Amino acid sequence: MITLVTGTTGQVGRRFVPRLIQQAQKEERVRVLVRDAARGEPLAELGAEVVVGDLRDEEALGKAVAGADAVVNVAAAFRGVPDEEAWAVNRDAAVALGRAAVSAGVRRFVQVSTGNVYGTGRGRPLTEDDESRPGGEMWGAYPESKAAAERELLALAGGMEVRIGRLPFVYGEGDPHLVNVMHWAAHWAPAQRLQMAHHADVAQGLLRLLYAPAVNGPVHNIADDAPVTTVELHQLNGVEVPADLYTRTDPDPWFGIMSNQKIRRELGFRPIYPSVWTARDAGAL
């Protein structure tokens, strides 16, 4: 079995690939697509086969998927990129990769998506059956482009099975996201909550989607058990809570709060770090 992984030099990909390699059986190989050969060297040292090329290059895609049995598409463009870049990477390149995978006879395609596709809250944790209502100024075209990629990948013909893992806010193992989030959290209401997942649990969820022989529906949320509040984010970062924070209200208390019950019940997912506090106590931030 050959598994191709894209987006392997990003925050999620470079933490996922070593775990995938560690779990690989003797007959299994891991292939990575990178734009810069030098950045692929650490993964090659771990045992990955490196293909150099751009996700938006048709010839590179053909080389990357040749002989592959599965694809995990981690590649994404979101924070701080122009909308046209988000659409080009998150939808166009993802769909082009999906089509190349179908042509190459790939049997399974795991698309890494985002809980932001849900959009507004529903007065309860968001489930995989909820329709997509992407929008909002915080992430620009990111949610809409990821939602479009989901729809178009699921509509591909050719017998390839598409599975989708929707991620919340991802943190841990030195990822700067936990610090960077204060750029936004400084303006939130005190009880506003952020759904989270540690990199170890993101990898666990993606591996379960990759290897499970069958799933009930293509979409699964990958999230921990305990969203954290704005006040807690200040505490985790050692930042004093400003007094005016307590004058703000949260317009949508269920925005982004995801249920992980489906992946727990059907794929046996159990967060290694059920909350960010567990990760902190374990020294895994």
- The answer to whether residue 48 sits within a structural domain is yes
Span 175-195, average pLDDT: 95
Within a domain: 104? yes
Chain center to CA of 213: 21
**Residue 268 pLDDT more than 80?**
yes
CA separation for the pair 88, 80 (Å, rounded): 14
Q: Please tell me whether residue 200 adopts helix, strand or coil conformation.
A: helix
Q: What's the mean pLDDT in 173-188? A: 94
Q: What are the distances in angstroms from CA 136 to CA 24, 118, 119?
A: 40, 11, 8
Amino acid identity for residue 3 in this structure: T
- Average pLDDT for the chain: 95
User: Considering the domain boundaries, does residue 281 fall inside one?
Assistant: no
Residue 64's pLDDT is 97
Whole-number Å distance between alpha carbons of 127 and 234: 28
Give the pLDDT of residue 54.
Answer: 93
pLDDT, residue 127, reads: 98
Mean pLDDT of 103-120: 96
pLDDT at 133: 85
Whether 98 is covered by a domain: the verdict is yes
Residue 238 maps to a domain:
no
Task: Report if residue 155 sits inside a domain.
Answer: yes
In a domain, 88, yes or no: yes
pLDDT at 45: 96
pLDDT band at 17 (very low <50, low <70, confident <90, very high): very high
Q: What residue numbers bound the domain in which 8 lies?
A: 2-170+197-223+259-272
- Going by C-beta distance under 8 Å and a sequence separation of 6 or more, which residues neighbour residue 111? 73, 94, 98, 149, 150, 153, 162, 163, 164, 165
* 207 lies in some domain: yes
Mean pLDDT for 203-217 is: 97
Note the pLDDT tens digit of each residue in 222-256.
999 999 999 999 999 999 999 999 999 999 999 99
Domain count, the chain: 1
Question: Span 62-79, mean pLDDT?
Answer: 95
Q: Which tokens go with 271?
A: 């967060």
Question: 215: domain CATH number?
Answer: 3.40.50.720
- The whole-number average pLDDT for the span 155-159 is 91
